[in-house]
Amino acid sequence: MAQEPNLELNVSIVSERYCVVSEDLNSLQMTLHLRYTNTGSQKIILYKGVRLFYQIFVSRNEQDAAARRYETRTTHSRYYDQLPEKIDAPNPGSVFTILSPGASYETEQTIALPVARGDKRVGNSITAGDHVLQVWVSTWYESKKLAQALREKWQR
């Protein structure tokens, strides 16, 4: 029997603005509100640190999105020039949040998409108009082995 997903992600656009990149290209910068909700019956320890990445998929319409036909797909990372985070500790540290069943964790992320200033696409840009935006977000960057070891260590 397949396990039901226990973590749901809802994404909404908080703000958007255009910046001119060149005479042919704009950059659409969007601030996304990400809401992770524990839909399961057990607590979830969610990593919320800086070493995550996400992918943005843009399609012309819902049918193309369902068929995985994308105008563009970009990968963004949240790696910062910081010291490595301490994750292998006796208890979950500040880079984790514990979600009880029904609880949520919310954060914001800014992304940028190239938008052609005319009718012709430039590189991996999209053209002006309505599109479908899909977001894939990582929730863990380390190995499954470490995740299992931490799970066993942190069980109460």
* Domains contained in the chain, number: 1
| Strand, helix or coil for residue 144 | helix
Q: Is 1 part of a structural domain of the chain?
A: no
Q: Is 141 part of a structural domain of the chain?
A: yes
Predicted pLDDT at 2: 46
CA distance 18 to 107: 22
Predicted pLDDT at 1: 44
Q: Is 130 part of a structural domain of the chain?
A: yes
Q: What element of type H or E holds 27?
A: strand 25-38
Predicted pLDDT at 3: 54
Predicted pLDDT at 7: 93
Predicted pLDDT at 38: 97
Q: Is 83 part of a structural domain of the chain?
A: yes
DSSP one-letter string for 29-74: EEEEEEEEEE-SSS-EEEE-SS--EEEEEEESSHHHHHTT--SEEE
Edge-to-edge, what's the strand order for the sheet holding 72-77? 72-77, 53-59, 132-137
Give the domain range for residue 32. 7-154
Predicted pLDDT at 81: 52
- Side chain identity at residue 110, one-letter code: T
Per-residue pLDDT of the chain (156 residues; tens, 9 = 90+): 445 569 999 999 999 999 999 999 999 999 999 999 999 999 999 998 777 778 999 999 999 999 999 999 988 765 555 566 788 888 898 889 999 999 999 999 888 999 999 888 888 899 989 999 999 888 888 888 998 899 888 886
Q: Are 73 and 55 in contact (CB under 8 A)?
A: yes
